[in-house]
Amino acid sequence: MTKKKLKQIFFPLINSFLFIFFISCGFGFDSPLSTFDAQGPVAQLQKDLFLFVFWLAVIVFFLVEGAILYASYKYRQKDEKLPAQIHGNTKLELMWTVLPSIIIAIIAVPTVMGIWKTQVMPDEDNSLIVDSIGHQWWFEFRYPQEEIVTANELHIPENKDVIVNIESQDVIHSFWIPKIAGKIDMVPNHQNKLWIKADNPGIYYGQCAEFCGIAHALMKFRVIVHTKEDFEKWKNDMRTPPVALNPGSEEDEGRKLFIGNCSMCHTHDSYKKAAYHKEIQNQNIRWEEWKKDKEYSAIVSAPNLTHFGDRLTIGAGLKENNLETLSSWIENPDNIKIGTRMKNHAAIYNSEDQFLTSNEIDQIAKYLLSLKPDKVNVITYTNNN
Ligand code: CUA
């Protein structure tokens, strides 16, 4: 092989390798779902382990490919003579059995240590416990210690161990916050546990990572990491009634429409005392009803909308939460996410006599946006990861 030919093979090979590498990184080491921008000890450990194995593999790759290229060139056919036959060479056989075994043993040590470190849960008494339930296609978050329930936005304090009890109500989903922790399956009738901890306040992206139906790619969530004080504030907010509405206002009209058309599936008042257990009960009833009649059940499990006006996004992390996107969603969820049970089951989409006018849709959206704790202090978010 000539030098020119070698170049023709070698450079495209390296380029495609680098191309695939950077594509896999999402074009940037700090993009929202990048695991290279670790923001917590669990993600950091996994990243370190990945890089260790990666660079080891790079060394092996260049040694093996180098040896192949070198041998192909050096021992290329020069005449008609049969080359020396080395089949069954004990030295070589030993070498390529022992060397990979050593490499695998080297990789096994930090891997097994990492598994132990991340699979042993921290002390429950000193941790925040969150139950996360996967639904087609949104995430429910329950705080059993605090008796708070919310959806699609997980609030946690910085630098605190959080144990997430992970389950699914319907099919298998997967819970993944790339910058904070690894992913784990959300399985029906089986609880998985994930330890997470975030180093810095900010907003992080979560994503379902297991194909779970038509809207799988659109099943996202946000993790809002607060300072300790802001987290206390958030917990108090979740127990505070919303801003009172003026009778006859657009928001108040929206409230009536919401009660009449939406509140069978969406709870909007879990700030009340004892609301937590009632909501769990109600979600179970909704679920059982849907299971009994998947085509026509009048109620289905649905995201809790308490203090919805404070949510950053709608449709499970898909669009910014504002009047325009929210009205568009209520008008027809398919505008933003296809396949929702809301679209399939709610009478406002299926019974002609219950269709809403665009004015009524706007009123409901305005009502939902008004659902904020009645207080002057607003939590401010400092960065956007
Ligand atoms: Cu849920 Cu994919």
Is the per-residue pLDDT at 277 higher than 80? yes
End-to-end alpha-carbon separation of the chain, Å? 50
Beta bridge partners of 187: 190
Q: Look-up: residue for tokens 């509405």?
A: 245
For residues 312-332, give the mean pLDDT: 94
Nearest CA to ligand 1 atom 1: 173
- Quick check: bond before 137 cis, omega within 30? yes
Over residues 266-272, mean pLDDT: 93
Question: What would the DSSP string read from start to end of 294-355?
Answer: TTT-S-------TTGGG-SEETTTTEE-SHHHHHHHHH-GGGT-TT-HHHHH-HHHH-GGGP
Supply the pLDDT for residue 383.
Answer: 47
Report, as an integer, the average pLDDT of 139-157.
96
Bridge-partner residues for 175, per DSSP? Answer: 184, 208
Residues in contact with ligand 1 by the CB-under-6-Å rule are 134, 137, 173, 208, 210-212, 216, 219
Residue ranges in the chain assigned as alpha helix (H) = 3-24, 41-74, 90-119, 228-237, 250-261, 275-292, 323-331, 341-345, 347-350, 358-370
Strands 138-143 and 148-151: antiparallel
Model confidence at 260: pLDDT above 60: yes
| pLDDT at residue 188 is higher than 60 | yes
Q: Which ligand 1 atom is at minimum distance from the Cα of 210?
A: 2
Task: Provide the mean pLDDT of the chain.
Answer: 90
Query: What is the whole-number distance in angstroms between the Cα of residue 216 and the centre of ligand 1?
Result: 4
Model's pTM, two decimal places?
0.85
- Sign of CA pseudo-dihedral 381, 48, 184, 215: positive
Q: Which atom of ligand 1 is nearest to the CA of 216?
A: 2
What DSSP character marks residue 155?
E
d(C-alpha 314, C-alpha 222), whole Å: 11
Cα 361 from chain centroid? 30
Q: Are 172 and 210 in contact (CB under 8 A)?
A: yes
Q: What is the pLDDT of residues 71-91, one digit of tens each?
A: 999 888 888 888 888 888 899
pLDDT for position 11: 73
Q: How many Cβ atoms from other residues are within 10 Å of residue 190's Cβ?
A: 11
Tokens of 327: 């009205």
Give the distance (Å) from ligand 1 centre to CA of residue 179: 18
Output the CA 270–ligand 1 centroid distance in Å: 26
The tens digit of pLDDT for each residue in 220-256 reads: 999 999 999 999 999 999 999 998 899 999 999 999 9
Residue 368 tokens read as: 């939902």
Q: Compute the average pLDDT of residues 342-356.
A: 88
Per-residue pLDDT band for 376 (boundaries 50, 70, 90) equals: low
Which atom, in ligand 1's list, is nearest to the CA of 186? 1
Compute the average pLDDT of residues 367-371. 95
**Amino acid 185: pLDDT:** 97
CA 180 to centroid of chain Cα atoms: 10
Compute how many other C-beta atoms are within 10 angstroms of the C-beta atom of residue 334.
Answer: 12
| Other C-beta atoms lying within 10 Å of the C-beta of residue 240 | 13
Dihedral sign computed on CA atoms, order 23, 29, 30, 32 = positive
Q: What is the Å distance from ligand 1's center to 246 Cα?
A: 40
What average pLDDT score do residues 333-347 get?
A: 90
Confidence of residue 2 (pLDDT cuts 50, 70, 90): low
Q: Across residues 144-163, what is the average pLDDT?
A: 96
pLDDT for 140 beyond 70: yes
- The CA 40 to ligand 1 mean position distance, Å, reads 24
Q: What is the pLDDT of residue 24?
A: 63
Atom of ligand 1 at shortest distance to CA of 212? Answer: 2
16 Cα–ligand 1 center, Å: 31
Give the number of other Cβ atoms within 10 Å of residue 209's Cβ.
19
The reported pLDDT for the residue numbered 384 is: 47
Q: Nearest CA to 111 among 184, 52, 185, 174?
A: 52
The string of pLDDT tens digits covering residues 30-80 is: 788 888 999 999 999 999 999 999 999 999 999 999 999 999 998 888 888
Q: What is the DSSP string of 17-49?
A: HHHHHHHHTTTSTTSTT-TTS--SHHHHHHHHH
Query: What is the pLDDT, as a whole number, of residue 26?
Result: 55
Do 223 and 177 touch, CB atoms closer than 8 A?
yes
Query: Which residue's entry shows tokens 């990491």?
Result: 225
**Binning pLDDT at 50, 70 and 90, where does residue 10 land?**
confident
Task: Kindly state the tokens that stand for 315.
Answer: 């449709």
Q: Are 61 and 20 in contact (CB under 8 A)?
A: no
Q: For the packed helices 250-261 and 358-370, what is the interaxial angle rounded to 10 degrees? A: 100
